[in-house]
Amino acid sequence: MKSIAARGAALGAALALFVAACQGPKHPPVWTEIVIASPSENVLWAVASQELQRMGFPLGVGADPQRLSMSSAWKTELAPFRGDGFRQRAEVRFFARDGGQYAIEARVVKEINDDIVRPLDPSYAKWEPAPDDVETAQLLLQRIQARLGAKLEVGEKRSELDKR
């Protein structure tokens, strides 16, 4: 009797672990990071929010300047075939470093529309998690870096030309 109860308890524990593992995230978050110089947090915040909007990410309620993090609303791109439509949400975090340097981490969460009947109707969409869009996160960081770096480089080149 005791061995049957022990086997039942072991089987129950194994089943509980299996269920917990299945409910975990299928696609772990992937953060991309760069370190850049910025005159201030306010300038960095403004540049990052402008680049998010330029890339088509609507600003969401997840923007918190106190915690130096922002999360966009969903950017939706529907397609006429199942699995081709998707939506994305960008998340950006800032960390102050010494000497006017900031580490910026970006992540673009992606979900695929798995609806087969009405894939072009967002009200019927069946969103399924997909791997993070690392390329779009890298592009966002490059655009932020270019906006901050280009202004500083242009100012230096103009001063050299003025000397001639």
User: What distances in angstroms separate CA 121 from CA 80, 84, 141, one per listed residue?
Assistant: 9, 13, 32
pTM: predicted TM-score of the whole model, two decimal places: 0.74
User: What distances in angstroms separate CA 134 from CA 13, 21, 116, 138, 149, one per listed residue?
Assistant: 37, 25, 27, 6, 22
Please give the structure tokens belonging to residue 116.
């087969």
Over residues 67-110, the pLDDT tens digits come to 899 999 999 999 999 889 999 999 999 999 998 899 999 999 99
Residue of 125, 133, 127, 130 whose CA lies nearest to 57: 133
| Domains parsed from the chain with CATH numbers | 28-163 (3.30.530.50)
